[in-house]
Amino acid sequence: WGGCRSSTPCSPAPSTATAHPEHSISDIHVTGESEDMSAKERLLLWTQQTTEGYAGIRCENFTTCWRDGRLFNAIIHKYRPDLIDMNTVAVQSNLANLEHAFYVAEKLGVARLLDPEDVDVSSPDEKSVITYVSSLYDAFPKVPEGGEGISANVSRRWVEYQNMVNYLIQWIRHHVTIMSDRTFPNNPVELKALYNQYLQFKETEIPPKEIDKSKIKRLYKLLEVWIEFGRIKLPQGYHPNDIEKEWGKLIIGMLEREKTLRPEVERLEMLQQIANRIQRDSLGCEDKLILARNALQSDTKRLESGLQFQNEAEIAGYLLECENLLLLHLKYMQLSTYLTSGLSSGLTSRLTPAITPAYTPGIPPRLIQSYAPGVDTGTLQTLKLMQIRKPLMKSAFVGQNLTEEEINMKFVQDLLNWVDEMQVQLDRAEWGSDLPSVESHLENHKNVHRAIEEFESSLKEAKISEIQMTAPLKLSYAEKLHKLESQYAKLLNTSRNQERHLDTLHNFVSRATRELIWLNEKEEEEVAYDWSDRNSNISRKKEYHAELMRELDQKEEVIKSVQEIAEQLLLENHPARLTIEAYRAAMQTQWSWILQLCHCVEQHLRENAAYFEFFNDAKEAMDYLKNLKDAIHRKYSCDRSSSLHRLEDLVQESMEEKEQLLQYKSTVAGLVGKAKAIIQLKPRNPDCTLKTSIPIKAICDYRQIEVRTLNFLKSITAVRRQLKFHLLTFSWKTQDRKYLPA
232 and 122 fall within a common domain: no
Within a domain: residue 361? no
Concatenating the DSSP letter of every residue in 321-366 gives: HHHHHHHHHHHHHHHHHHHHHHHHHHHHH------STTT-TTS-HH
Shared domain check, 480 and 464: yes
Q: What is the Cα–Cα distance from 156 to 170, expressed in whole angstroms? A: 21
104 with 241, same domain: the answer is: no
CA–CA gap between residue 23 and residue 376 (Å, rounded): 81
Question: Do 191 and 304 share a domain, yes or no?
Answer: yes
Torsion sign, CA atoms 120, 123, 125, 128: positive
Summarize pLDDT for 537-596 with one digit per residue, the tens: 888 888 988 999 999 999 999 999 999 999 999 999 999 988 998 899 888 888 988 888
Query: 333 and 423: one domain?
Result: no
Contact between residue 182 and residue 172 where contact means Cβ atoms under 8 Å apart: no
Domain that holds residue 99: 15-139
* Position 135 pLDDT exceeds 80: yes
Looking at residue 453, its amino acid is E
Closest CA relative to residue 567, chosen from 244, 295, 121, 89: 244
pLDDT tens for each residue of 625-649:
888 888 888 877 777 777 787 777 7
| 366 backbone dihedrals φ, ψ, rounded to 5° | -65, -25
Contacts of 94 (CB under 8 A, 6+ apart): 67, 68, 69, 116, 119, 120
Q: Which of 528, 553, 584 is the last residue of a domain?
A: 528
- For residue 645, being part of any structural domain is answered with yes
| Residue 24 confidence (pLDDT) | 44
- Which of 668, 531, 522 is closest to 612 using CA atoms? 531
Residues 657-695: tens digit of each pLDDT: 777 787 788 788 888 878 877 888 888 887 788 777 777
Instruction: Reply yes or no: is the peptide bond before residue 741 cis, omega within 30 of 0.
Output: no
Find the Cα–Cα–Cα–Cα dihedral 604, 608, 611, 616, rounded to 10°: -160
**692 and 733 in a common domain:** yes
Instruction: Tell me the backbone φ, ψ of residue 375, rounded to 5 degrees.
Output: -80, 130
Is 31 within 8 Å of 49 (Cβ atoms)?
Answer: yes
Nearest CA to 175 out of 149, 146, 209 is that of 209
Torsional sign, CA 641, 645, 649, 654: positive
pLDDT in tens, 157-206: 889 999 999 999 999 999 999 998 888 887 778 888 888 888 899 899 99
Q: How far apart are the first and last CA of the chain?
A: 52
Q: How many CA atoms lie within 13 A of 326 on its CB side?
A: 9
Residue of higher predicted confidence among 672 and 726: 672
* Mean pLDDT score across all residues of the chain: 77
Question: What digits encode the pLDDT tens for the residues 493-516?
Answer: 999 999 999 999 999 999 999 999
Please report how the helices 126-139 and 39-50 are oriented relative to each other, as an axis angle in degrees rounded to 10.
Answer: 60
pTM for the model: 0.46
Q: Is 401 left (phi over 0), alpha (psi -120 to 50) or beta?
A: left
pLDDT digits (tens, 9 = 90+) for 369-405: 433 333 333 333 333 455 566 676 777 676 666 778 8
Residue 68: which of 46, 88, 92 has the closest Cα?
A: 92
Q: Report how far residue 335's alpha carbon sits from residue 555's, in angstroms, rounded to the nearest whole number.
A: 53
Assess if residue 294 is contained within a domain: yes
Number of domains in the chain: 4
Q: Give the angle subtended at the CA of 506 by the CAs of 264 and 509, to the nearest 5°.
A: 85
Q: Residue 574: which CATH number?
A: 1.20.58.60
Q: Do the strands 738-741 and 728-733 form a parallel or antiparallel pair, or are they unpaired?
A: antiparallel
The answer to whether residues 510 and 583 belong to one domain is no
Domain boundary among 91, 107, 139: 139
The pLDDT assigned to 344 comes to 40
Asked whether residue 380 is domain-assigned, the answer is no
How far apart are alpha carbons 20 and 345 in whole angstroms?
88
Taken in order 301, 304, 310, 312, the sign of the CA dihedral is positive
pLDDT attached to residue 703: 56
Evaluate whether residue 613 is within a structural domain.
yes
Asked if the structure places residue 377 within a domain, the reply is no
The letter for the amino acid at 605 is L
- Of all residues in the chain, the percent with pLDDT exceeding 90 is 19
With CA atoms as reference, report the closest residue to 134 among 211, 20, 240: 20
3-class SS of residue 558: helix
Task: Name the amino acid, one letter, at 359.
Answer: Y
Q: Is the same domain home to 505 and 647?
A: no
Residues 6+ apart with CB under 8 A from 32: 45, 49
Phi and psi at residue 555, in whole multiples of 5°?
A: -70, -25
Q: Is there a single domain that holds both residue 169 and residue 129? A: no
| 182/243 same-domain check | yes
Q: What is the CATH number of the domain that holds 113?
A: 1.10.418.10
Where do the H-state alpha helices sit in 529-537? none
Q: Is residue 198 part of a domain?
A: yes
Of 93, 108, 139, which residue constitutes the final position of a domain? Answer: 139
DSSP 21-79: -GGGS-----TT--TT--HHHHHHHHHHHHTTT-TT---S-SSGGGTTSHHHHHHHHHH
Residue 687 CB partners (closer than 8 Å, separation 6+): none
Judge whether 664 lies within some domain.
Answer: yes
- Residue 164 and residue 58 in one domain: no
Say yes or no: 131 and 24 in one domain: yes
